[in-house]
Each structure stands twice: as C-alpha cells, then as structure tokens.
Structure 1
Amino acid sequence: MHINRKAAAVGALALAGTLFGAVPAQADSAPKGDGAKSVCKRLPKIQERVDKAVERLNGDATVSGSVARLQQRVTDAKTVGHTEIYTYLNDRLTFRKSLLPTLQTRQADLKSVATWCAAQPSPAAGK
C-alpha cells in the first residue's frame, strides 16, 4: 500500500502541475483583435454558403431542404392522420422558417462587410 500512496501522490502532483501550467497558455489564446483580416479573407466562401442556404430554403417542393418541401410533408402527415409525425415535422418547419430571416439579415451584413473589406488598404507585398 505504501507504493500505491506514493504513486497517487506523484500522480496528483503531476496533474496539479499540468493544470497550473495550462493557465498561462489559455491567457495567451485570447483574441488579439477583431479578426477583420481573416473575415475579409474568408468572405467569398461565407457569402457563397449563405447564398446557397437561402436559395435552398426558398426552393420549391422538389428541392431537398426547402421550406416548401417540408411544408408538403407536414400537409401529407396531417392528411393521413399521422399526428406524431405531423407534430414533429411541423416543429421542424417552424424552425426552418425562422432560419430564412436570419440568413437574409446575414446576407445584408455580409454585403456591408464586403464594402468595408474592399475599402481597406491592401497589405504590403512580402508581408
């Protein structure tokens, strides 16, 4: 048992050292700015992803992931009397409908960001 206590004590000290050693590393990982440079760099892909999502949500009933397609499934479930399925799908429909205004707001915000990014001076060559 003497050996087990010794091993436990060494393990506890090692764990404590690891925990205390990690604190300064966490402090170093705090943001050093607003990340504008990386946002401007990723902007085209972000815009493309948001535009695709809005297009999909606005699609007709043949488009997988569209509000219209989910609405049709809700209607079908209600028609055949599948109450539990209707409830589940209707809740999904409510959420999906709420995504559209959020994404449209994001599209407008990204247009403003694109204008801002375009107005920023280009970084010097070689940096």
Structure 2
Amino acid sequence: MSSTSRPWMPAASRTRRTVVSLMAVGALLGAAGAASADGTGKQPSGAPTGDGAKALCKRAPKIDQRIDRILERLNGDASQRGSIARLEERVSRAKSAGHTAVETYLNDRLTFRRSLVPTLQGRQKDLADVEKWCESNGEGADS
C-alpha cells in the first residue's frame, strides 16, 4: 500500500516514511554491491597463479576443430552459408540491381570476412605449436 493512499496520515509522516523506505533500499543495494564488485557473490582470488597452460592444453583440440570448421565454411562455395563466395555473389547482385547502400554494407562485410582467413590460419599455426608444446610438457601439468 503506497503512502499516497493514506490521506488520514499527515504529509510530513508520509514524506518521512518514503525517505526511510528509500534509505533502506539504498542500504540493501549498497550491501549487495559491497559483497561483490562483479555481482557474482564471489570475492576475487587475487593475481593469476599461472599462465593457464594446463587449461589451454585441455581445450586445444576443440579450438583446433572450431578453427577448421570456420575456415571450411569461409572457403566454401556459393551454396555454403557464411562463405566468402556467397557474400561475393550477394555483393554483385546488389551492384547489378543498383542498391548502392546494400552493396556498400555487404562489401564491408566481405572485406572483414576475407581478413578472417589469414587471421585464423595464423591462429591455427600458433595452436599447432601450442599442441606440440603440450605433448612435450605433460599437457601443461607443470604450470
């Protein structure tokens, strides 16, 4: 029940009650924020203790599969959704139809998509080196 629905209560009492209620809500929110700065309820554990090699060694095969899958999609033919060839076809259709705004938008997407290929190939090469390191260092167990 809101304080405005109590006409029998003096205005000063309604105002005081509202202020007290707002202060209580503020205190609760402040206490919740003080408990955790990131909102998870967990306190930060401090500085990292290692370089994460063990976790990376564990995830490397899945990362490699993901990169392979993305490169396969990007290098697919025009029937493959997400491929460079399909986007090139869409750009040429927009250009022939005279849709300059659409052509510009799609061309920017095409430029970005083309830039992904060498980036992913570089990551794939780096990941292969990491996997070799993991094999020779006990899957990063020393870290």
After TM superposition, give the deviation of residue 25 of structure 1 in Å. 4.0
Q: Which residue of 2 aligns with 1:11?
A: 25
The structure showing larger relative contact order (alpha-carbon pairs under 8 Å, at least 6 residues apart) is 2
After TM superposition, give the deviation of residue 123 of structure 1 in Å. 8.6
Q: Which residue of 1 aligns with 2:85?
A: 68
Task: Tell me which amino acid in the other structure corresponds to 1:34.
Answer: D
For the pair 1:38 / 2:52, whether they are aligned, the reply is no
Q: Which residue of 2 aligns with 1:120?
A: 137
Instruction: Tell which deviates more after alignment, 70-79 or 24-33.
Output: 24-33
Distance 1:26 1:97 in 2: 42
Higher helix proportion: 1
Distance 2:99 2:139 in 1: 59
User: How many residues are aligned here?
Assistant: 124
Given that 2:79 and 2:86 are in contact with CA atoms closer than 8 Å, whether structure 1 keeps it comes out as: yes
- The alignment partner of 1:28 has SS state of coil
* Aligned-pair identity (%): 48
Summarize deviations over 1:14-68 as a string: whole Å, max 9, x none: 2222222225944326533222111111111110000111111112222221111
Given that 2:54 and 2:139 are in contact with CA atoms closer than 8 Å, whether structure 1 keeps it comes out as: no
Q: Which residue of 2 aligns with 1:20?
A: 34
Q: Residues 36 and 7 of structure 1: is their aligned pair in 2 closer, same or farther, counting only changes over 3 Å?
A: same
Task: Tell me which amino acid in the other structure corresponds to 2:118.
Answer: P
Distance 1:19 1:46 in 2: 36
Give the unaligned 5+ runs of structure 2: 1-14
Superposition RMSD on alpha carbons, in Å? 2.3
Q: Residues 37 and 44 of structure 1: is their aligned pair in 2 closer, same or farther, counting only changes over 3 Å?
A: same
For the pair shown, the structure with the greater C-alpha radius of gyration is 2
Summarize deviations over 1:73-104 as a string: whole Å, max 9, x none: 11122122221221111111011011111101
- Normalising by structure 1, report the TM-score: 0.83
For the pair 1:110 / 2:115, whether they are aligned, the reply is no
Give the unaligned 5+ runs of structure 1: none
- Normalising by structure 2, report the TM-score: 0.75
